[in-house]
Amino acid sequence: MNEYVGQSVPRKDANDKVSGQAMYAVDIDYIPNMLTGKFLASPIAHGKILSIDTAEAEKLPGVVAIVTGKDWPVKIGLYAGDRDILAVEKVVWIGQPVVAVAAESEAIAEEALSLIKIEYEPLEPILDPVKAMDSKQILVHEKMADYNHSPAFHPIPGTNVANHFKLRKGNIEDGFKQADEIFEHSYSMPQISHAYLETIVSIGHYRRDGTIEVWSSAQSPFTVRYLLGITFATPTSNITVYSPLLGGGFGGKAGLNFEPLVVLLSRKANNRPVKLHLTREENFRSAPIRVGMVAKLKTGVTKQGKVTAQQIEYIWDSGACADYAVNVGRAAGYVSIGPYDIEHIKSDSYTVYTNKPYATAFRGFGHLELHWVIERQNEIIAKKLGLDSVTFRKINTLKPGSGITGNQHRLREDAGSIDECLDKVWSELTKKKKKTPPPKPWIFRGVGIAGFMKGPAQPPNSASSSYVKFNEDGSVILSVGTSEMGQGTLTSLAQIAADELGLPIEKVKIRGDRDTDRDAYTWQTVGSRSLFMDGNAVQNACINAKEQIFETASQVLRVIKDDLVIKNELIFPKGEPWNHLSLSEVVMGYMYPTGESIGGPVIGHGKYIAKMTILDSDTGAGNPAIFETFGAQGVELELNALTGEITINQIVSAFDIGKAINPQLCEGQVLGGSVMALSIATSEQLQYSKTGELLNPSFVDYIIARPGDIPKEFSSYFIENPQEDGPHGARGIGELTMIGVPAALGNAIADAINVQIFDLPITSERVWSEIQKQRPELITSLKKQLMEEKP
């Protein structure tokens, strides 16, 4: 029986965070002889670098080092090596670092930057991803054919297409012939900021012996170590990456960011460590963002509601570099039809360069975007066919054990049920929908629902490991590679270990900071993979530790190993708790009364590797995920047709997560994810001038949800159809909590007022404008009623 798994155990990191004792990268200021790093960013979106004059800056007292792109002209990136540490021959977005300085103080570094002179030859920028995809005259990367690419990606040299992912199933022409009706619509959403609280901080130390130390606000320190090894042509054994707690990441700190720059500065600054701390504006202009998206969707359907064909084109705006964005486009491409079983599919997912800040991973990894498209289209079709929202979807949803995904892969029997999620949300929405009439005739009420699915986007060889090391008192230190950035996974992993080892949760210590020399390896902390992957590794490490414990205890108690159990810190034969040894007697080695000793210190180790396949490059066929978490979300709202103002009354969510290891943490994820998605759906967008200048690089003008925007009511439900190979049957949930909200919101607006929204964000201005276009007769009628109400 589980004592901790399934319980709402308080977070392991709670005390440090609420007391202000938690250590973040920005707090590291005690490294001897540390310098301040700053960089000069490009003021133009596209142009050749004609000359860089640093002579005056070099004379400034307190300036220790100045570097340009020519000091280390190596392209960096995990999936596509397309980004310069510092611009070399030309600049490709406003905000791209061009020259960097290491100085004794921030003030000196800032003054040095003001003395540097750079001459540019402006080139025409390209900002529209649709135009960029078709352009062969304006190329962001003329030498793309020379870049290193992971074999899973397919750039098209001579264009701005960084990757083209194809999904093919059946015969699309046959599918449309079988349809009674065909629906075609276009959808879009803009680039947005990750808007994490902690801006990026990196400290680099290139030591005199050639070893490298880095302290960074990085989600994936082992990936940073690996890529630094490639960048500086040195073995990973020479590199140590320290990652303290993160003040938010959401994918924005998943790859390699400014770590190479501070290492390069340190190398030139006589091996002194260098710290770079981005301001909020620098973070907006120079750090990675989320991709934008434009999509075209053509759907064939029978009168009975069966989708016969789905043809999709996704165009992803990666900005000036596509290293991580190509994988976003790929992941969205292979799940491009959502959680549905459709016989005929043709989907093309293009990741495209533009002269904007470069894009990277973002919570949901393209799935919020693709489900915005699919679930808005589904609602339009359902209403046209006269079917209710859930009935239409359930006609087409993937069924466990029989459904065939777009990747031509049969859904496992224990994959979970989207139908149960849809039914639960719909039941709650319709049950709670207000029966009283709206207070004014221009106030309309509506409900909307969206279904979705998501699994981790990771390569087939991605792996996790763990070790548990016992202490003299029988407590353990649990080591994993997963980073702590607010998600609470480490607490869930500690719960798993406590149950496996029969320990009180207080006796399981797990650190939130990461040290690549000290901690067990994990591929990355992304994609809602950590609980599943690292959870399995933790279970295996505990099993390995118990084998060692039982080996010793069986000799002392004179029973076979298979008869032993651990409970309440005691080891005893099944059914005989009185015949026991304490863990503390065994885990460091057992000593008989004579002094003879056996066993020794127990350190259990475990590992887990993804069970996936490489996808076919022409069809996308294969198994791309270790699990799929299914879910549904619904929105109930009120809409003022005269102003376009929306009031969200409640958000209802249901997820089939297999097992809620910690229900309170799951609930917290739902609340945070729903609010984040609502913010994205209603206000967030990066806005650019015609020349590529970012117009809203601060939280004054970049609008995120405020407390007054949060719905009063949230209802969250966790369905538990366990997956046999998951830790206690669990699947990931973190990203899922935001995927359905934008589409559900758009569907609720359509339900309320019969107005279709195809583009995000759904601002009051956009709603008002669409009502004017689509329902002018309604506005005329409401204005008349309003005038009649006036005294």
- Classify domain 31-115+200-277 at the CATH class level: alpha beta
> 290 - beta bridge partners?
192, 360
pLDDT at 721 over 80: yes
pLDDT at residue 434 in the model: 67
pLDDT at 789 over 80: no
pLDDT at 786 over 90: no
| CATH architecture of the domain formed by 463-609 | 2-Layer Sandwich (3.30)
**Sheet containing strand 63-68, strands side by side:** 63-68, 97-103, 35-41, 274-277, 201-206, 212-216, 239-243, 514-515
Q: Give the pLDDT band of residue 2 (cuts 50, 70, 90).
A: confident
pLDDT at 1 over 60: no
Tell me the C-alpha distance between 136 and 50, whole Å. Answer: 24
3-state DSSP of 617-673:
CCCCCCCCCCCCEEEEEEEEEEEECCCCCEEEEEEEEEEECCCCCCHHHHHHHHHHH
Which range among 430-439, 603-612, 711-720 shows the weakest confidence by mean pLDDT?
430-439
**What are the structure tokens assigned to 128, written together?**
């529209």
pLDDT at residue 228 in the model: 98
Q: Where in the chain is the domain with CATH 3.90.1170.50?
A: 31-115+200-277
High-pLDDT (> 70) share of the chain, %: 99
Mean pLDDT for 179-183 is 98
Q: Which helix (H) or strand (E) holds 454?
A: strand 443-454
pLDDT at residue 432 in the model: 67
pLDDT at 583 over 90: yes
pLDDT at residue 267 in the model: 98
- CB count in 10 Å sphere of residue 31: 15
pLDDT at 433 over 70: no
pLDDT at residue 791 in the model: 61
- Chain-centre distance for alpha carbon 436: 40
User: Please, are residues 36 and 105 in contact by the beta-carbon 8 Å criterion?
Assistant: yes
User: Please, are residues 552 and 598 in contact by the beta-carbon 8 Å criterion?
Assistant: yes
Residues 6+ apart with CB under 8 A from 371: 338, 450, 452, 739, 740, 743
Q: Give the pLDDT band of residue 431 (cuts 50, 70, 90).
A: confident
**Mean pLDDT over all residues of the chain?**
96
> 165 - beta bridge partners?
349
User: Please, are residues 7 and 662 in contact by the beta-carbon 8 Å criterion?
Assistant: yes
Distinct helix (H) and strand (E) counts, the chain? 20, 33
Main-chain phi, psi angles of 781, to 5 degrees: -65, -45
Q: Give the pLDDT band of residue 711 (cuts 50, 70, 90).
A: very high
Residues in the chain: 791
pLDDT at residue 785 in the model: 84
Residues 6+ apart with CB under 8 A from 321: 77, 80, 82, 83, 92, 353, 358, 359
Mean pLDDT for 102-117 is 98
pLDDT at residue 790 in the model: 66
User: Please, are residues 137 and 124 in contact by the beta-carbon 8 Å criterion?
Assistant: no
pLDDT at residue 331 in the model: 97
- Chain-centre distance for alpha carbon 41: 27
pLDDT at 323 over 80: yes
pLDDT at 371 over 70: yes
CATH of domain 292-394+406-458+613-780: 3.30.365.10
- Note the pLDDT tens digit of each residue in 236-277: 999 999 999 999 999 999 999 999 999 999 999 999 999 999
Q: Give the pLDDT band of residue 407 (cuts 50, 70, 90).
A: very high
Whole-number Cα distances in Å, 278 to 37, 216, 258, 281: 10, 12, 10, 8
Mapped onto helix, strand or coil, the DSSP state of residue 787 is helix
pTM exceeds 0.75:
yes
Q: Give the pLDDT band of residue 100 (cuts 50, 70, 90).
A: very high
Q: Give the pLDDT band of residue 787 (cuts 50, 70, 90).
A: confident
Mean pLDDT for 727-735 is 97
pLDDT at residue 439 in the model: 86
Whole-number Cα distances in Å, 37 to 127, 264, 337, 476: 30, 11, 46, 40
Q: Where in the chain is the domain with CATH 3.30.365.10?
A: 292-394+406-458+613-780, 463-609
- Note the pLDDT tens digit of each residue in 275-302: 999 999 999 999 999 999 999 999 999 9
